[in-house]
């Protein structure tokens, strides 16, 4: 590569650097209240289904509380992240309850 | 698979079932409480050959010689004594209508702990001692006690004390609903739950005698014979309801409401498989 080309690339990179830094420093798409409402509703629905199976997890409830608090404080990025975590936990508890309908027999003393 | 091979396999499988080489699915799934209790007791006796069957009611103390000696010393001035005295006083004190707990129980409530829980064929459900006590209160115009607090622990402590040494004698009447309740309790006991993915059996069948943090895990057999218990960890007394709900929380599962059908059935199963072991409650635990 010639020195001229390298210098041009360096100049180009340096001029783009502030833009790249800004892009990394703040989220490209900040979460909105609507995003939170949607994520929270999905998490609540999954947790309700786990409740129907008599198998809710305390960590799901805790993540829902964290999500709500973050939303109340206006931190919708955190609120959405916590709501999604709650939904994932609730879905895991549903999976557990469903598989255990038969799997429990493997532990039985016979 | 070719049809001929498939047919031959089916015939072979059916023959194996017929000859008793392979248990049929229905036979495996049919509850057999007598066989369960026999297998349950055999499992623990073989796992801990030095422990006498009746000693399993002493929970973690039966698993560890040092702890056993400490416990014997502690029994000279047991920490549940205050609760026992309170329970005796409460039990003898008449309700506002002049009746008392003695009017609600066979043999006036003395020496009957070993018969609870029982299956009520009229109601079609399991009735635990804690539930019977609260029903007695409500039938006599008194407010029910919390299932997880001191008053209920005190009452059950006194009733257990008057039954000490009597072997658990839980009956499963010839009623399909009773067998179903037993089976539901068994399923609950072995089912993994909570974020930690533990079942009751994970601790109390697979790991009794092992430590979980500072605690020595108790064996499942005889675990309810000592209820209610004074737990140093709790700094007070705890009922069976408290024990079940706390276990669920510890594995990061949301506990059910005390005396939910699941817990009543669980108590039925656990008590039944400990038939023949003596009541030792109230107990003390680390």
- Percent pLDDT > 70 in chain A is 75
- Closest residue in A to B252 (Cα) is A58
Give the per-residue pLDDT at A28. Answer: 55
Is the residue at A1 inside a domain? no
Q: Is residue A66 left, alpha or beta, with left meaning phi > 0 and alpha meaning psi from -120 to 50?
A: alpha
Q: If you ran DSSP here, which 8-state letter would residue B230 be given?
A: E
Q: What is the DSSP string of B115-136?
A: G-SEEETTTTEEE-HHHHHHHH
Q: Give how far the C-alpha of residue A4 lies from the chain's centroid of Cα atoms, to the nearest Å.
A: 46
Q: In a 10 Å sphere around its CB, with 0-12 CB exposed, 13-18 middle and 19+ buried, how is residue B271 labelled?
A: buried
Domain coverage including residue A77: 29-107
Q: Which one is predicted more confidently, A14 or B90?
A: B90
CA distance B252 to B96: 42
Give the per-residue pLDDT at B64. Answer: 84
ipTM score over 0.90, yes or no: no
Q: Is A66 on the interface with B (CB under 8 A)?
A: no
The number of domains in chain A is 1
Confidence check: pLDDT of A12 > 60: no
Confidence check: pLDDT of A10 > 90: no
Least CB–CB distance from A57: residue in B190, B191, B195: B195
Name the phi and psi angles at B126, rounded to 5.
-80, 135
Give the per-residue pLDDT at B206. Answer: 97
Task: Give all domains of chain B, ordered by start, each with its CATH number.
Answer: 1-30 (no CATH), 31-286 (1.10.760.10)
Give the per-residue pLDDT at A6. Answer: 52
Q: Is A102 on the interface with B (CB under 8 A)?
A: no
CA distance A68 to A100: 31
pLDDT, mean of residues A23-45: 83
Token reading at A80? 């959405």
Give the per-residue pLDDT at B2. Answer: 44
Q: Is B166 on the interface with A (CB under 8 A)?
A: no
Q: Strands B125-127 and B215-216, how do they pair?
A: unpaired
Q: In a 10 Å sphere around its CB, with 0-12 CB exposed, 13-18 middle and 19+ buried, how is residue B7 labelled?
A: exposed
Three-point CA angle B72, B222, B159, nearest 5°: 75
CA distance A41 to A71: 13
Is the residue at A57 inside a domain? yes
- Counted across chains A and B, CB pairs separated by less than 8 A come out at 52
- The structure's pTM equals 0.86
Give the per-residue pLDDT at B252. Answer: 98
Partners of residue A107 in chain B, C-beta under 8 Å: 190, 199, 201-202, 205-206
The strand pairing partners of B238, in sequence order, are B229
Binding-face residues of B in 51-70 toward A, CB within 8 A: none
| CB spacing of A109 vs B205 below 8 angstroms | yes
Smallest Cα distance from B174 to chain A, Å: 22
Give the per-residue pLDDT at A44. Answer: 98
Is the residue at A5 inside a domain? no
Active site residue B247: yes
Averaged confidence pLDDT in chain A: 84
pLDDT one digit per residue (tens) for chain B, 286 residues: 444 444 444 444 444 444 444 444 444 578 999 999 999 999 999 999 999 999 999 999 998 888 899 889 988 999 999 999 999 999 999 999 999 999 999 999 999 999 999 999 999 999 999 999 999 999 999 999 999 999 999 999 999 999 999 999 999 999 999 999 999 999 999 999 999 999 999 999 999 999 988 889 999 999 999 999 999 889 999 999 999 999 999 999 999 999 999 999 999 999 999 999 999 999 998 8
Confidence check: pLDDT of A2 > 70: no
């Amino acid at each position: 590569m010639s020195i001229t080309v390298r210098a041009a690339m360096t100049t180009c990179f340096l001029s783009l650097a502030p833009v790249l830094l800004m892009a990394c420093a703040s989220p490209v798409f900040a979460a909105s209240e609507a995003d939170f409402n949607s994520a929270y509703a999905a998490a609540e629905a999954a947790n309700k289904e786990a409740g129907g199976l008599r198998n809710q997890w305390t960590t799901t409830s805790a993540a829902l509380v964290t999500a709500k608090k973050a939303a109340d404080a206006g931190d919708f990025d955190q609120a959405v992240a916590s709501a999604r975590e709650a939904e994932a936990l609730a879905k895991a508890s549903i999976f557990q309850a469903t598989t255990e309908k038969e799997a429990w027999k493997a532990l039985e003393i016979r | 698979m070719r049809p001929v091979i498939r047919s031959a396999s089916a015939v072979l499988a059916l023959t194996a079932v017929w000859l008793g080489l392979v248990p049929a699915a229905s036979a495996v799934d049919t509850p057999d409480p007598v066989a369960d209790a026999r297998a349950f007791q055999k499992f623990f006796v073989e796992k801990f050959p030095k422990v006498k069957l009746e000693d399993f009611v002493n929970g973690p103390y039966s698993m560890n010689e040092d702890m056993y000696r400490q416990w014997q010393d502690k029994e000279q001035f047991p920490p549940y004594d205050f609760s026992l005295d309170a329970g005796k006083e409460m039990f003898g004190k008449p309700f506002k209508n002049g009746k008392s707990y003695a009017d609600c129980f066979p043999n006036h409530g003395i020496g009957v702990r070993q018969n609870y829980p029982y299956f009520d064929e009229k109601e079609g459900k399991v009735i635990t001692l804690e539930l019977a006590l609260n029903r007695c209160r409500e039938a006599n115009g008194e407010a029910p006690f919390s299932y997880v607090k001191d008053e209920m622990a005190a009452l059950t402590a006194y009733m257990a004390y008057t039954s000490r040494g009597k072997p658990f004698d839980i009956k499963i009447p010839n009623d399909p609903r009773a067998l179903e309740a037993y089976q539901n309790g068994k399923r609950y006991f072995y089912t993994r739950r909570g974020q930690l993915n533990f079942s009751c059996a994970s601790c109390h069948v697979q790991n009794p005698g092992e430590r979980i943090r500072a605690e020595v895990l108790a064996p499942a057999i005889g675990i309810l014979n000592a209820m209610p218990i004074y737990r140093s960890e709790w700094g007070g007394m705890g009922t069976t309801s408290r024990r079940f709900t706390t276990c669920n929380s510890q594995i990061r599962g949301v506990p059910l409401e005390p005396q939910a059908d699941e817990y009543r059935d669980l108590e039925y199963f656990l008590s039944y498989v400990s038939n023949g072991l003596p009541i030792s409650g109230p107990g003390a635990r680390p």
